[in-house]
Amino acid sequence: MKKIAIVFTLLFLGLANLSKGDEGMWIPLLIEKFNIQDMQEKGFKLSAEDIYSINQACIMDAIVIFGRGCTGELVSDKGLLLTNHHCGYGAIQRHSSIEHDYLTDGFWAMNQQEELPNPDLKVTFLNSIEDVTSKVLKGVKNNFSEKERQELINENIKTIGEDAVGETDLKASVKPFYYGNQYFMFIYKEYKDVRLVGAPPSAIGKFGGDTDNWMWPRHTGDFSIFRIYADKDNNPAEYSADNVPYKPKKFLPISIKGLNEGDFTWVLGYPGSTNNYITSDAIKLTKDVRNPNRIKVRDKRIEIMNSYMDANDTIRIKYASKNAGASNSWKRWKGEIIGLNRLNTVEKKLELEAQFIEWASKKDEYKDVISELSKVYNEGEDYVVASDYYWESIKSIEIVRFASQFDKLIEMAETEEEDEFAKEIERLNKTMNSFYKDYVKAIDKDIFNGLLPMYYSNVDKRFYPEIEETVLNNSEAFIESLYKSTVFTNQERMKILLETKEGIKELSDDPIYKFYTAFNKVFVDKVNPISDSLNRRIQLLYRSYMKGLMKMQKDKVLFPDANFTMRVSYGKVAGFSPRDGVEYKYYTTLDGVIEKDNPNIYDYDVPEKLKEVYIAKDFGRYEVNGTVPVCFIATNHTTGGNSGSPVLDAEGNLIGLNFDRAWDGIMSDMEFDPERSRNVTLDIRYLLFIVDKFAGAGHLLEEMTIIE
């Protein structure tokens, strides 16, 4: 359901000159207006209509949201989809067991009948984008309170979405941009039958593991392959053996012509979240308080998981995804601190704020914005610390987090809403099966013992729950008593309790559930109300600050922060120098994979089959100078959510899969550094080489359009 009319309401912007750097995550709808000339001057050979169009098939139609937080792209007319290995990791892990260890051995379906369904996995296509600012702000008056303003905006958004999708199976999402100075509506279509087609072993797909994560050079074959299925009319459908491969409006041709330093590249995907316009106080809070606290807690949690995983293969499989999830942000936070300090980001923000204060000195709407933001950040620091420790310590204890999912059911046991009650029981039974499959009580108990004291040592006493005296006296004995008496660690007993409302009511007296509710009460009563109030003030102040900033810098087009909506970023293939005397090339090769081989280190244990292919030099059409390209870097501005995004050449051909950023520029969510900020991409030639020469799954390549 695409609309021909597009309304632009950028009345508050003095849009003159686009920044000439590679920084920016741009809205596809506005590429024609603000970016296309700059892109073409840098080497882009297509039109804006080729990227985003409401009148014809375009590259946008080949891109999907994969799952809940990644990007994927279609590469065949039979619904074949590529994304990162780490994006498909959860699905691969859920299909894995000791008997079929797809994490270690990889998985390759040699025909469509062997492809594996994933009941909880979906992909989402973007159908259209519309600027709806005027509709969202319709009726909003200057004398409204913030509460009145937001209530009317919410009503308008609801009406706009309902009118847009009607009785169709489409979904509407209206998102604020520039802190609520502008709004766009995105219309989506979801497909729920997504099957696993292929995945390399983790020794390829996760090569280098946490050691190489966020680093350059990289030698990681970070990809997995899925297929979208639809009903016989090509419409979304729940999994069925009768479903057929989805026929896309557009799929991406693949180029193996190669690339050189300086070549134009661009990325089309779903960056999750950036904060490029936050103030100096927010930067200081991040690098001096929040990141150090969160790193400290995860140090302990990861250390405990690693000790068990290193000693037991079954546990390694069970905890692989959990460990990877914990390690990812942990390492990024470390890099952010280093990068923000290196760039003197706080000092730069202070300089900008001084300019803003001078500019706004005679403008009542803006003159107190900076001082008020500083005041709010100072007021909120204790609450931020308490919240971070709650989520990183208390809610990172698996059994506590699991118990928290029973809140709704316990409440419903007091009512007579039988239909909804039955649905909640069904949902929790699925949740339980997934939880117990990968749960190890000994690990959880050690993590509990490691993390609980950290909460009490670092959080203000105002945020201690009523159980604090017992815990402080002997936390280990207290935790031991919880595990001895809880039913939440006993799957069979839990199944029995869920069969009756009387059994469900018993859960409210369980010691683990009571532990969770004691902490939850603190946050519901003491933390959340103040935090929510402060956040509302911050959002209101940033709305004014952003509006004023764009007026003050009227010679610039300021790109909007990422918010997990489709964006275009573009740049060039480029190496960089991280420090004096060190120069990084823009590419890595299979030679480097073999050089890193170490059978004694799980992250660097190269599969024997890959070594055999290397020794035989069986590189086929993917060979370049006696080896195979593996990864490359470029100056495209990316962040989390861009994982799996297509990296494209000047003609719109797929040349790689974005999967990471280089450590030296990892603070780009807050400040982009054109000298060092690099997105890390899996070279499509290495992907094809692994599928063809390593896996022997050449039938998949036959579906693709490959340009040589």
The four Cα atoms 471, 472, 474, 477 give a dihedral, to 10 degrees, of 10
Pick the catalytic residue: 86, 202, 664, 669? 86
State how far the Cα of 286 lies from the Cα of 279, in Å rounded to an integer: 11
Active site annotation includes 643: yes
Please, which contacts does 96-101 make with residues 24 or more away whose CB atoms are closer than 8 Å? Answer: 96/317, 97/317, 98/313, 98/314, 98/317, 101/313, 101/317
From 249, 326, 207, select the one nearest 682 (Cα to Cα). 207
Q: Which one-letter DSSP state was computed for residue 573?
A: B
Distance, C-alpha 583 to centroid of its chain: 30
From 325, 269, 218, select the one nearest 680 (Cα to Cα). 218
186 CB-near residues (< 8 Å, 6+ apart): 126, 128, 129, 172, 173, 174, 175, 565, 566
State how far the Cα of 681 lies from the Cα of 369, in Å rounded to an integer: 40
Three-class SS state of 487: coil
Neighbouring C-beta atoms of residue 349, cutoff 10 Å: 21
Alpha-carbon distances of 705 from 73, 250, 688, 708, rounded to whole Å: 14, 12, 12, 10
292 CB-near residues (< 8 Å, 6+ apart): 337
Pick the catalytic residue: 50, 61, 222, 649? 222
Helices 369-392 + 291-309 axis angle, to 10: 20
Omega of the bond leading into 253 within 30 degrees of 0 (cis)? no
Pick the catalytic residue: 643, 645, 668, 677? 643
Three-class SS state of 536: helix
Which residues on adjacent β-strands are paired with residue 81?
74, 226
Active site annotation includes 219: no
Distance, C-alpha 382 to centroid of its chain: 27
Alpha-carbon distances of 519 from 14, 234, 322, 462, rounded to whole Å: 49, 48, 23, 12
Phi, psi of 200 (to 5 degrees): -70, 165
Alpha-carbon distances of 35 from 51, 389, 564, rounded to whole Å: 12, 42, 20
State how far the Cα of 443 lies from the Cα of 398, in Å rounded to an integer: 9
Q: Which residues are catalytic?
A: 86, 222, 643
